Amino acid sequence: MSERVDFFIEGKEQLAKPFHYSASGLNSIYLLNGVTEKVTDYGKMVHIENINGLHHAIGLHIIEKDEPMNGAEFRFLRKQMELTQVQLGGHLKVSDQTIANYEKGHTALGPAEPLIKGVYLLFILPEETRVEVLKSILPPSQEKRKRLPDVPRRKLVDHWIEDGVRRAA
């Protein structure tokens, strides 16, 4: 994800200057609102409203984008699923060193990319919508679905919206 990606909470006033959310481990994430900065005796404190919803929105952006995933994005998805490199390697039937090489960009993701995208999607979907979503994307048809239906999407991201998605919807 090399191009800047903006996220915001619908209905909230935008910040004067977008907040660069580098703590995500992704250099291109900016927040247009939903952030409060406060200077305390201990230094600058940052509060991000509904950080889990934001992380789900970032994860959905990663799995739905057309460009190949990079190592940092792969690591972001793994960490969101709270998996170690050893655990994910076990799921993908590769070594933890292979996972480390994916994350460092030393090894092409190849078939690991669609696998982690699918595993991540199943991880974040509420149980009652997993079957519906799987039916909409499997088996591949001539008309490929690139985005989730709007109802499950809204439940997953809990108010956070990628800036380009609102305009495209």
Find out whether 33 and 9 touch, Cβ atoms under 8 Å.
Answer: yes
Q: Which of 20-34, 61-75, 123-137 has the lowest mean pLDDT?
A: 123-137
The backbone region for 5, taken as left when phi is positive above 0, alpha when psi lies in -120 to 50, beta otherwise, is beta
Number of structural domains in the chain: 1
When pLDDT is cut at 50, 70 and 90, the band that residue 151 belongs to is: low
Q: Answer whether residue 67 shows pLDDT above 60.
A: yes
pLDDT recorded at residue 125? 86
Domain containing 148 equals: 5-168
Q: Answer whether residue 164 shows pLDDT above 80.
A: no
- Strand pairing category for 35-40 and 43-48: antiparallel
Rounded Cα distance between 128 and 133, Å, is 10
Q: Answer whether residue 97 shows pLDDT above 50.
A: yes
Q: Kindly report the pTM of this predicted structure.
A: 0.77
DSSP designation for 19: E
DSSP designation for 15: P
